Amino acid sequence: MTQTWFITGSSRGFGRALTEAALEAGDQVVATARKPEQLDALVRRYGDAVLPVALDVTDRAAAVAAVEAAVARFGRLDVVVNNAGYANVAPVETADEEDFRRQFETNFWGVYNVSTAALPVLKAQGAGTMVQFSSIGGRVGGTPGLGSYQAAKFAVDGFTRVLEAETAPLGIRYLVVEPAGFATDWAGSSMEIADIPAEYSATVGELVRNFEQMGSAAGDPQRAAEILVRVVKRENLPSHLLLGALAVEMAQNYSRAQLEEAATWQEVSASADFGRAYPVELPVD
């Protein structure tokens, strides 16, 4: 069955690759971008199967209007993909507050705006899938210089888990995508790097130096997009999909460390309840 996709940030990167993969699979796509003229090549190639729509995801009214335009054209929504996002680099302490907030507006509130705009449609259908782009940093965190970006990605994961619990009886499915490094312009032209004070050279500065030296990332956006199209068409979805070998390695190492820490502090943690032995010895320091 032909599916209708609604994809944010379709002009480049993951969004562009996913738009093309869905169209190549014979599906229809509502491709959104701040500048929809950047989607003209897609319209020339795929014709009526693609509907370009102007959308700034930070604009709640625009998100509602984009969803309405999608339904008016195709009659339904089967897959809603919250992909639009970007990151700028700065230490939390010295980051420009307005820039920090703008990143969060796009990376979290954009997901909120589109998700809540699409929910009434998916509820009425009794079916549909939401694909929320996080990152491996949204699981393990701790990347110096990416305070706003990673905070937003953690928030997207928590938000999506609540949505899934709330809408469990309504036929709506959710998939959180957690990529590692991919050959997009995420760390290129779309990223701004602030001045880094000397005391943050060993942490935030090191991240920037790694970006400059890494060359092309290991991840292939086209492969990832094709994988996502195949996964979404399955009856059973994973709750989270890691993309890239590095993402798998980082997630597994993080989970092992979390389990080990929980086991180490288990007796101390449990002693906080009424009726438990108290006090207990702290782990060896």
Active-site positions read: 134, 149, 153
Question: What phi and psi values does residue 151 have, to the nearest 5 degrees?
Answer: -60, -40
Nearest to 81 by CA among 36, 28, 19: 19
Task: Decide if 139 contacts 251 (C-beta within 8 A).
Answer: yes
Task: Decide if 132 contacts 177 (C-beta within 8 A).
Answer: yes
Nearest to 180 by CA among 245, 235, 274: 245
Which tokens go with 83?
Answer: 């992909």
Identity at 262, one-letter amino acid code: A
SS3 breakdown of the chain: % helix, strand, coil, rounded to 5?
55, 15, 30
Task: Decide if 235 contacts 170 (C-beta within 8 A).
Answer: no
Task: Decide if 66 contacts 43 (C-beta within 8 A).
Answer: no
Nearest to 11 by CA among 55, 47, 46: 55
Which tokens go with 76?
Answer: 């339904």
Neighbour count for residue 54 (Cβ, 10 Å): 16
Nearest to 232 by CA among 86, 118, 121, 132: 132
Alpha helices (H) in 8-95, listed in sequence order: 13-24, 40-46, 60-74
